[in-house]
Structure 1
């Protein structure tokens, strides 16, 4: 069955029902890839180095012949793997530029009856899109507030109510503090984070506001690109206030069940900033499960950090909103009312 070349525009629709296969090496795939793609490498990491070196030294023909020499003995294994993984016999395939590797995989699978759609321009075309998408001039409204005011919970509730949100911490697999990686999956690369971010943004209405939690430039090992971070810094921010008791209770709900050794390791990472005495006290409280005490101890540091971060924003762009004693539903309604005042129009004009 003959392959069909598809554009990126066609790709968006086809991938809803057809699995995506990445023909690049394991290392390339691990670094970044189209989300939800499956890796079926034509050349392994080691083989790719060999072929690449030969290409530089002796040219395209020698590299191509060597590539076939290396991968040829595995042709049947690649076909069997595809049969096992993709029972319907349909795939979308790509490599770096939509060239040799995806062509070989397309040919191999077409020979055994697969219907193959090959992405024109390969991953490079997709990555060009995601790079540009996360650097557009989006309209943002930031959720700010000290640690423990429940920004992430509020963000999720706003989404349930039909608001556009972008959960950067969820995409980064990190809560954005020294404790942020505990209980999370490994973080993606910065490039993969941008791919995930772009996938979210491409479904947003650019004419409408997107709610984003106020973050520092770095979320764990992830660094937000300069343009988007500048948008965040120059966007209105709703500074949520909650009582200390409410904040400590929320943090306790989220962190008290986590492994003690990981909590202690996080405290130790802050030792230089906390000082020896407070570090020792916090660790003892964690060991003794005195959660209220160690959380209150660390909030002294985090509150100072937040205040410093808040001062990056133009004071006229900061709106203080006291949500003490308010549940999620009440909190969101107040936030939406404030958004309407900022935006100068109703959030849902059809309601």
Structure 2
């Protein structure tokens, strides 16, 4: 018989065991526990049918139809569970109910020890979102577009500092050009789950560096509790010359096809104004990316300055960036009292 574990114990146990999400593929794609694999009891269409039967004809009719759907796949599901190469596995469904219990029964017929999450994925979501309320010693790297904030963040990581790269988790660099070179964004729910995975591994007694962001990174939203923590923290504002910033952005973006760059610029037409947008597009067409970037920065610099006024930090420390990012990161590390 499967062992039912509360969410905190389940997650601790699953740190060394495979965890199986038995929900439908659509549910899994929307969001799932970190490192889970999807072995669906039902397809999306089958679950819809079973759910409709449950509401219209009751539990017995739904269970019978569910058995009819699952029976042809029982051998394949069992083989996939055995392929995880572990004698113990964890399982969850939406609320830790019939789907996970049914799969646990099936897997235990081949001597797999199963642990079921009490409350299922719903319990995990409540647990994950609650973690963002817990205080962290956040330190925010701020600065205008092109001031190498993300690169400095990773230099800090190389120096042994704790970091959270929100843009990496969101698969987006946080601007109209943010999707270039990135894989498609997932849901905000999935973004939150992956952020939870990072946060859960942090040492709360040590500083955690994060880059200043808007609440929305592309189409992913930073959890409100975490966002508020960011703006109760000290910000380190990177001071970098316009020329250096353009040089940095040239390295970051000039490698992309001009058609992609033009499409990104056109997303800014309403904010840039039609004339400036046309000038930037023309510069791109003529492969003068430097001019295009300088035009676009006029908008981003104004927008960033306005954002800092609207969401002020309690303390802002100006940092003159150094010729190499390593030295800048080393200096930032020296400023933080641990």
Shorter-chain TM range is over 0.9
Match of 1:291 among 289, 292, 298: 289
| Counterpart secondary structure, 2:91 | strand
Deviation at 1:218, TM superposition (A): 0.8
Deviation at 1:10, TM superposition (A): 4.0
8 A Cα contact 2:155 2:329, kept in partner: yes
Q: What is the correspondence of 1:315-326 to structure 2 with a 5 Å cutoff? A: 317-323=315-321, 325-326=322-323
Partner of 2:151 in structure 1? 153
Deviation at 1:75, TM superposition (A): 1.6
Partner of 2:69 in structure 1? 70
Call closer, same or farther: CA 1:157–1:29 in 2, change over 3 Å.
Answer: same
Cα separation, 1, equivalents of 2:205 and 2:81: 42
Cα separation, 2, equivalents of 1:155 and 1:113: 47
8 A Cα contact 1:134 1:194, kept in partner: no
Cα separation, 2, equivalents of 1:82 and 1:282: 54
Partner of 2:325 in structure 1? 328
Cα separation, 1, equivalents of 2:24 and 2:84: 19
RMSD: 2.0
Cα separation, 1, equivalents of 2:137 and 2:271: 35
Cα separation, 2, equivalents of 1:195 and 1:128: 11
Deviation at 1:315, TM superposition (A): 6.9
Partner of 1:81 in structure 2? 80
Give structure 2 stretches of 5+ with no counterpart: none
| Counterpart secondary structure, 2:142 | strand
Q: What is the correspondence of 1:51-130 to structure 2 with a 5 Å cutoff? A: 51-83=50-82, 85-130=83-128
TM-score, normalised via structure 2 length = 0.93
Cα separation, 2, equivalents of 1:329 and 1:257: 24
Call closer, same or farther: CA 1:314–1:77 in 2, change over 3 Å.
Answer: closer
Give structure 1 stretches of 5+ with no counterpart: 340-345
Q: How far does the alpha carbon of each residue in 1:135-194 deviate from its partner, in whole angstroms, 9 at most, with x for none?
A: 323332211000111100111111222222111111111100001011111212111111
Partner of 1:343 in structure 2? none
Cα separation, 1, equivalents of 2:179 and 2:288: 22
The number of equivalent residue pairs is 338
Deviation at 1:93, TM superposition (A): 1.6
TM-score, normalised via structure 1 length = 0.90
Deviation at 1:316, TM superposition (A): 5.5
Cα separation, 2, equivalents of 1:123 and 1:316: 37
